Amino acid sequence: MAELDYYFTMSAMTWSYWVIFGFGLLAFEILTPGGFFTLFFGFSAFVVALLVWLGVLGSGAAQWMVFAVTGTVLIVALRPLVRRRFETGTPKVDQIVAQTAIALENFDENGRGKVELRGTSWSGVYSGPGSVVKADRLRVTKVDGLSLLVEKE
């Protein structure tokens, strides 16, 4: 039992270590394409740092328990709000279908060429009758990887 008490006493961190740990978690959130998980645990580390500084938390077990519970509560309560706020308005691939693209060049005999859609150049594949010449207006029928399957308007 004495070994267990020693472990919990020795695993307690000072408030400054919690602040450093919190900044480390925030940096990790910034450097990784995460889903806003470590952000809230970083804030949780700051809460624990404040409680340790105020003398409310002393043992390592209590510190880690408050860290885990606070981080989990913050994720459940605030993550949906933060994700809605910071999600980009990037269109989904399915929203490209039925849009109008412009041929940037004459398509080759295999029906392949470059098209422009929403300011971006794509590979286009045409399998309809006739040929596609530069500046033709084409309707996107399907997205296949990085190529747009197109037909004439």
Going residue by residue through the chain, which has 153 residues, state the pLDDT in tens, using 9 for 90 and above.
556 555 555 578 899 999 999 999 999 998 987 778 899 999 999 999 999 999 998 888 899 999 999 999 999 999 988 888 877 665 566 678 888 999 999 999 888 999 999 888 899 999 888 889 999 999 999 888 888 999 998
Rounded Cα distance, 93 and 116, in Å: 15
CATH 2.40.50.140 in the chain, residues? 93-152
The residue among 70, 127, 122 whose CA lies nearest residue 62 is 70
- What are the C-alpha distances in Å from 43 to residues 21, 69, 96? 10, 12, 39
Structural contact between residues 52 and 15, judged by C-beta atoms closer than 8 angstroms? yes
- Please state the length of the chain: 153
CATH code assigned to 93-152: 2.40.50.140
Give Cα 110 distance to the centre of its chain. 38
The predicted pLDDT at position 47 comes to 96
User: Dihedral of CA 66/67/71/72: which sign?
Assistant: negative
Q: How many helices (H) and strands (E) does the chain have?
A: 4, 5
The predicted pLDDT at position 5 comes to 55
The predicted pLDDT at position 34 comes to 72
The predicted pLDDT at position 68 comes to 94
The amino acid at residue 126 is Y
Rounded Cα distance, 89 and 87, in Å: 7
Rounded Cα distance, 117 and 95, in Å: 12
The predicted pLDDT at position 115 comes to 94
Report the alpha-carbon angle 139-140-144, nearest 5: 160
3-state SS record for 51-95: HHHCCCCCCHHHHHHHHHHHHHHHHHHHHHHHHHHHCCCCCCHHH
